Structure 1
Amino acid sequence: MSKRLRSSEVCADCSAQDPCWASINRGILICDECCSVHRSLGRHISQVRHLKHTPWPPTLLQMVETLYNNGANSIWEHSLLDPASVMSGRRKASPQDKVHPNKAEFIRAKYQMLAFVHRLPCREDDSVTAKDLSKQLHSSVRTGNLETCLRLLSLGAQANFFHPEKGNTPLHVAAKAGQTLQAELLAVYGADPGTQDSNGKTPVDYARQGGHHELAERLVEIQYELTDRLAFYLCGRKPEHKNGQHFVIPQMADSSLDLSELAKAAKKKLQSLSNHLFEELAMDVYDEVDRRETDAVWLATQNHSTLVTETTVVPFLPVNPEYSSTRNQGRQKLARFNAHEFATLVIDILSDAKRRQQGNPLAGSKENVELILKSISNQHSSESQDNDQPDYDSVASDEDTDLETNAAKSNRQKSLDSDLSDGPVTAQEYMQVKNALVASEVKIQQLMKVNINLSDELRIMQKKASKLEKQSSMSESDYDNPTTPLELEETGSGRKGRQRSVIWQGEGSIPEDTDTAPSSSLPSTEDVIRKTEQITKNIQELLRAAQENKHDSYIPCSERIHVAVTEMAALFPKKPKSELVRTSLRLLTSSAYRLQSECKKTLPVETCPTTDIQLVTQQVIQCAYDIAKAAKQLVTITTKENNN
């Protein structure tokens, strides 16, 4: 942030000092606590980004600074500035207020319900009002008055409005006038840089004609923002658009292997989607990338003691009432993908986006990145029965969406520019595609055995002897050192009585121990919190190492986390009576085990020549998040049980 902001900036929602997050589409700065509420609302309400620990396009940051300095917050709190609001008892939140319910209720009213925004006089025909507002926006974007345009957008002006007399959109006007910040604001609210005017020219064309070359380059970046963000998430690189390179397609280490029949069918179905449905799927994956990256920044920047509060967890994409219930449920299931599965889905989308834009024919079966959607229906079924909290948010039905607020239609419509007209696929066929991808756990394990990376298998075999020796010297625990699928095969029938059902994420059934009776006793809440703080402190060290690209620190950090996890698991009985406790312990210890395995992939390149360090880092972050999530679940459970 610029120096002129540092002395006086306060949170727009509670006036706390030194806010370190921004809501891009609202043009405001917010503190940690208020940001936790914004994150739970979803990107269609508030697009949050950390001011220091997230990469910013310079002109986008400048746009937020300008709006903040020019009182954009007064747009969202218009009626609160009226003296009559004091008399009615309505007030904004304060730094001392509790997050729940005080700050949360205020923030939801302010941005989700738009309770304090200035209302226009009611008219019989709302479409006329929207058209008038859009025409005003069309005229205003040629000036530098950003807050005026934000106010018009907040009232319902359309960023992609095509002026019938002028024959162009507001973004054409802003580009021609060289108004870079106006272009940024319009793009945040869904303006498409690829739209042609009545003369067949795009905003990029007008920016170049006017000599606004930096603006033209930025508009091209915005045009490819979706695919750029997905590529950067996996490999830390973006295409060189100046040189005509518009796509970067990362490769998986096991990309040379043939796909199973199920994976081939899934990839073929993805390719057969209509452009409209493919764009919807790509936008959903973009939102999930944003959620995961924001979670990683959140874990790295928070005080470790805040992990045990309710302000830290956004476990899946929040409901967007403008989408169907089916789409919302599919979006939420994206959170169930582990790092490897999600990476393969991202690469598939990048590959097909490039094919669609360039008009290439369907890819052959050897162009392989496996698309695996883990079975959700059977997983965690016992957890959902014991847990008072549902696995997913309640999803609005199609009939209910008209009753929801249409506030801030701010999801940026990412352009995938496609001239290729694929065969039409109905919504019903699309859902059949999704359902076909939801394979049973047995089929998933079979796919994994077929596609397992041969170099990984070799390393496991080489280390097997030392690992078994280490395990035999340690005291046996039901939760420590979960067995991998490969080890289950190699150990044979001698351990069938003790085998646990192992799933890719290490989540299976706890082995039955006939010598130990189930126990309902739980450790004290204080002990669990103390161990949780120890775990999260170590996780913070690991995430800092990831941010600073100190890959040689991964292994020692993961070992410290594993020790802390083992100590925490030891607090609980060997065979807990509660299935929810068993599930949380399983997630905790198996994630710590997976974390160690992923961190070992950062060994010198001659040992692991196929390692993609960026992909490993994403997997490490996901494992750390899973550990933190499980630790918080255990704190919540013990607190609840011990208070009863």
Structure 2
Amino acid sequence: MSRVKSKAVSEICGDCSATDPSWASINRGILLCSDCCSVHRSLGRHISQVKSLRQGTWTPTILKFVTELNAHGANSVWEHTINETPISSKNFKPKPSPKDPIHPNKVDFITAKHVKLMYVLKPNTQQILKENECGSVELELSKQLHASVRTTNVETSLRLIVQGADVNYYSKEKGSTCLHVAAKFGQSSQVELLIAYGANVAALDAQGNNPIEIAKMHGHSQLSDRLMEAMYEVTDRLSYFLCGKRADHAAGQHLLIPNTNKVELNEQLKIARGKLQLVPNKMFEELVMDLYEEVDRRETEAIWSTSALNPEVGAVPFLPTNPHLSATRNQGRQKLARFSQQEFAGLITDVLEDCKRRQNMANLRPLDTPIRDSTASDDEPLYDAVASDDDYAALAPIPQQALVNKSPIMPITKNPEMDVLKHELQKSMSTIDELKELVVKLSSENTELKAKITSSDCGSNHEENNDNSLNSVTNSYFEDKSTPSSRRPVSMYEARQVPKEESPVPASQSFHHTTSSTQNSPSTSAKLMPLFIDVQKRTDIITRRIQELWKEIQDQMPDFKNQTVFVPCAEKIHLAIMDLNTIFPTVIPLESIKNALIQLNSNSLRIQKVCHDLQNAIISDNKVQLDLFLQEVRNCAYDLAAGNKTLITSFPQ
């Protein structure tokens, strides 16, 4: 992909009118001086995507888009009411001058302008609803955006987006999204605007074509290449950060991973990688987006430290808080700044490796994407009028394209190894079905027990639980890769590594607690509840049994000469859990404790079966099955450790 260094642009800062600005805000479409840029950086990338005009590496189409948008008055979209209010009016609010202090003058103005959106023009809601029968202002604005992106009027499209138009709006009449239209008409600046605000590059039109294919079909080969780059922007940026190279998409290479074959992995790093593989796809995408933003922060910080007159004034030592995200995830994002260069590079490498693994797994089961119907053509006349400028509902965080938008699935050639994997997948699915039946049975028994006690719902915060799990992964990398001898080894089965209040049941299910009457007057079941010290002793035994199993696996790798040691270890885990069950009464008042016991019991049966399958795979010397069941053992062990931790943390002391 060709890159160019931009020349200094003789314009003015969009926020304070200082001459010779050296920075630009891509999604705002304005140029910035160093002082105002420092404020933009502190707001976060979800508000303003800043890049150095002089030292930044620019994609030609993005630089063209920013300069065009700035030249055509993008700043008037953000300062509409300021420009329309007479200076003599009492309501007139002047912009800060270049010589004004950053605090509070420039900070207050930029916050009001770009965060609170106080100076944008609100759409005439009543007029839009009166003139159109769609019943939704957003829908009408989105229709107008769909029409606008085929033209060169980028500032009009920006105004519509600011007013609340959906960049991913799909027109049922024309069977296409806004990005399809811009790609069809070769409007590269419109494409860059839509991408900057989160348009989906992989979206399909009524004929099943994505914007990349549409651009190619209409002879816009350069735009098609740019859309392909945008689809893999995140992973390309991570690869470039590691090795200074990007994947060659034209040659069919969509993921570039640095060669780390010679790097010897210690035990803690292997455990961290195992935990990374257990992260669900949604959480994994969030982790990759956070890494992308941290890479952007580090690269911008490096430029800032060499270009600013006083680098310490505008420094951003960690990712700013994003109010759209949970507090737990924000804390995890900020912890990324504590990683050393080597630790951070190692985490990115592992994430890229796991991207490849997850993509390969996805290719084994192609998704049937519904193709929408279309009854009209994009060649129909444009809308006669476009809504006036306006206020927008707060901008959502800019989604990254690379992981969410997968490349078109290539045909898979048949080979024996794939047949074996499919066969093993079918076996695993049948095992899962058996476990589901067991869970249903246990759930029905659980429901009968619930009827005997009075309980009330207590909402659970599933997002926080997910973010805690994600923090556990990143924390393990931060701890595992540190070298001081005083740091004790990290184990994936230690109680502190498992997220607090991790729920073993589906996210939609809430935890329960007893009512005040049950709490104030102890019930018979409450009197029979075991002491905390008894529960702690037995959970410690379960933890040791899990560690013993994992140690046996580590000692046997890679030859597995003694294949009969795993089943006895699994049986010991099962016996330890059975011993734990004996100290609990039939009726348990706390829902979280009941759920933890269900998780432990179901996984104790599961790990026995998987260890038996692992033993058979070793005896038959089937390496494909061996790798599969090793991963299953790891998953079971982690689920057991999670249930164990949930039980001990939920138990009243």
Q: Same fold (TM over 0.5)?
A: yes
Return the alpha-carbon distance in structure 1 between the equivalents of residues 195 and 154 of structure 2.
13
State, as a whole percentage, how many aligned pairs show the same letter: 46
Tell me the CA shift for residue 338 of structure 1. 1.0
| Shift in CA distance, 283/127, structure 1 to aligned 2, threshold 3 Å | farther
Equivalent residue for 1:258, pick from 262, 265, 282: 265
Tell me the CA shift for residue 30 of structure 1. 0.5
The answer on 1:106 being equivalent to 2:109 is: yes
The answer on 1:141 being equivalent to 2:149 is: yes
In structure 1, the partner of 2:119 is 116
In structure 1, the partner of 2:316 is 314
SS in 1 for 2:136: helix
- The residue correspondences of 1:97-496 to structure 2 (distance < 5 A) are 97-122=100-125, 128-252=136-260, 255-260=262-267, 262-303=268-309, 306-307=310-311, 311-359=313-361, 406-409=393-396, 411-416=398-403, 417-418=405-406, 427=463, 428=465, 431-435=468-472, 438=475
Return the alpha-carbon distance in structure 2 between the equivalents of residues 251 and 157 of structure 1.
44
Return the alpha-carbon distance in structure 1 between the equivalents of residues 294 and 264 of structure 2.
27
Residue by residue over 1:552-603, the C-alpha shift from the partner in whole angstroms, topping out at 9 and shown as x without a partner, is xxxxxxxxxxxxxxxxxxxxxxxxxxxxxxxxxxxxxxxxxxxxxxxxxxxx
CA contact (8 A) 1:269 1:433 kept: no
SS in 2 for 1:49: strand
| Shift in CA distance, 2/232, structure 1 to aligned 2, threshold 3 Å | closer
Return the alpha-carbon distance in structure 2 between the equivalents of residues 441 and 7 of structure 1.
41
RMSD across aligned positions (CA): 3.4
Relative to structure 2, which stretch is displaced further, 157-166 or 38-47?
157-166
In structure 2, the partner of 1:62 is 64
The answer on 1:23 being equivalent to 2:25 is: yes
- Mark the runs of 5 or more structure 2 residues left unpaired by the alignment: 365-391, 410-424, 433-461, 489-653
| Shift in CA distance, 279/10, structure 1 to aligned 2, threshold 3 Å | same
CA contact (8 A) 2:7 2:53 kept: no
CA contact (8 A) 2:44 2:322 kept: yes
SS in 1 for 2:31: strand
- Counterpart of 1:104, as a letter, is V
Residue by residue over 1:152-195, the C-alpha shift from the partner in whole angstroms, topping out at 9 and shown as x without a partner, is 11111111111222222100011111111111110111012111
SS in 1 for 2:24: strand
CA contact (8 A) 1:44 1:320 kept: yes
In structure 2, the partner of 1:507 is none
Residue by residue over 1:315-362, the C-alpha shift from the partner in whole angstroms, topping out at 9 and shown as x without a partner, is 111111111111111111111111111111111111111222233799
Return the alpha-carbon distance in structure 1 between the equivalents of residues 478 and 84 of structure 2.
59
In structure 2, the partner of 1:96 is 99
- The residue correspondences of 1:478-627 to structure 2 (distance < 5 A) are none
Return the alpha-carbon distance in structure 1 between the equivalents of residues 479 and 396 of structure 2.
42
Q: Pick the structure with greater CA Rg.
A: 2
CA contact (8 A) 1:21 1:31 kept: yes
Return the alpha-carbon distance in structure 1 between the equivalents of residues 397 and 67 of structure 2.
18
CA contact (8 A) 1:356 1:418 kept: no
CA contact (8 A) 1:159 1:190 kept: yes
- Mark the runs of 5 or more structure 1 residues left unpaired by the alignment: 363-404, 452-644
Return the alpha-carbon distance in structure 1 between the equivalents of residues 402 and 480 of structure 2.
35
- Counterpart of 2:263, as a letter, is S
Return the alpha-carbon distance in structure 2 between the equivalents of residues 414 and 94 of structure 1.
38
| Shift in CA distance, 440/173, structure 1 to aligned 2, threshold 3 Å | closer
Return the alpha-carbon distance in structure 2 between the equivalents of residues 322 and 213 of structure 1.
37
Return the alpha-carbon distance in structure 1 between the equivalents of residues 406 and 4 of structure 2.
39
CA contact (8 A) 1:16 1:31 kept: yes
- Counterpart of 2:251, as a letter, is N
SS in 2 for 1:159: coil
| Shift in CA distance, 204/441, structure 1 to aligned 2, threshold 3 Å | closer
| Shift in CA distance, 140/334, structure 1 to aligned 2, threshold 3 Å | same
The answer on 1:43 being equivalent to 2:45 is: yes
Tell me the CA shift for residue 256 of structure 1. 3.3
| Shift in CA distance, 7/180, structure 1 to aligned 2, threshold 3 Å | closer
CA contact (8 A) 1:27 1:68 kept: yes
CA contact (8 A) 2:29 2:69 kept: yes
| Shift in CA distance, 178/410, structure 1 to aligned 2, threshold 3 Å | farther
Return the alpha-carbon distance in structure 2 between the equivalents of residues 234 and 84 of structure 1.
53
CA contact (8 A) 1:161 1:169 kept: yes
| Shift in CA distance, 269/7, structure 1 to aligned 2, threshold 3 Å | closer
TM-score, normalised via structure 2 length: 0.57
Return the alpha-carbon distance in structure 1 between the equivalents of residues 140 and 209 of structure 2.
25
Relative to structure 2, which stretch is displaced further, 346-355 or 96-105?
346-355
| Shift in CA distance, 447/160, structure 1 to aligned 2, threshold 3 Å | farther
Tell me the CA shift for residue 447 of structure 1. 8.4
CA contact (8 A) 2:8 2:54 kept: no
Tell me the CA shift for residue 433 of structure 1. 5.0
In structure 2, the partner of 1:462 is none
| Shift in CA distance, 259/214, structure 1 to aligned 2, threshold 3 Å | same
Tell me the CA shift for residue 446 of structure 1. 6.3
Return the alpha-carbon distance in structure 2 between the equivalents of residues 433 and 64 of structure 1.
35
| Shift in CA distance, 6/316, structure 1 to aligned 2, threshold 3 Å | closer
In structure 2, the partner of 1:475 is none
SS in 2 for 1:142: coil
Equivalent pairs counted in the alignment come to 403
- Counterpart of 2:471, as a letter, is K
Residue by residue over 1:230-255, the C-alpha shift from the partner in whole angstroms, topping out at 9 and shown as x without a partner, is 11111111111111111111135x85
TM-score, normalised via structure 1 length: 0.58
| Shift in CA distance, 259/165, structure 1 to aligned 2, threshold 3 Å | farther
Equivalent residue for 2:85, pick from 80, 83, 89: 83
In structure 2, the partner of 1:535 is none
Tell me the CA shift for residue 449 of structure 1. 10
Return the alpha-carbon distance in structure 2 between the equivalents of residues 444 and 335 of structure 1.
15
Return the alpha-carbon distance in structure 2 between the equivalents of residues 137 and 440 of structure 1.
44
SS in 2 for 1:22: strand
| Shift in CA distance, 109/258, structure 1 to aligned 2, threshold 3 Å | same
Return the alpha-carbon distance in structure 2 between the equivalents of residues 2 and 356 of structure 1.
34
Tell me the CA shift for residue 146 of structure 1. 0.4
SS in 1 for 2:176: coil
- Counterpart of 2:303, as a letter, is V
Tell me the CA shift for residue 412 of structure 1. 3.7
- Counterpart of 1:239, as a letter, is A
| Shift in CA distance, 128/85, structure 1 to aligned 2, threshold 3 Å | farther
SS in 1 for 2:170: coil
Relative to structure 2, which stretch is displaced further, 206-215 or 430-439?
430-439
Return the alpha-carbon distance in structure 2 between the equivalents of residues 95 and 341 of structure 1.
41
Return the alpha-carbon distance in structure 2 between the equivalents of residues 42 and 441 of structure 1.
23
| Shift in CA distance, 220/4, structure 1 to aligned 2, threshold 3 Å | closer
SS in 1 for 2:174: coil
SS in 2 for 1:198: coil
SS in 2 for 1:359: helix
- Counterpart of 2:147, as a letter, is S
Return the alpha-carbon distance in structure 2 between the equivalents of residues 21 and 327 of structure 1.
29
Return the alpha-carbon distance in structure 1 between the equivalents of residues 45 and 39 of structure 2.
12
Return the alpha-carbon distance in structure 1 between the equivalents of residues 20 and 179 of structure 2.
34
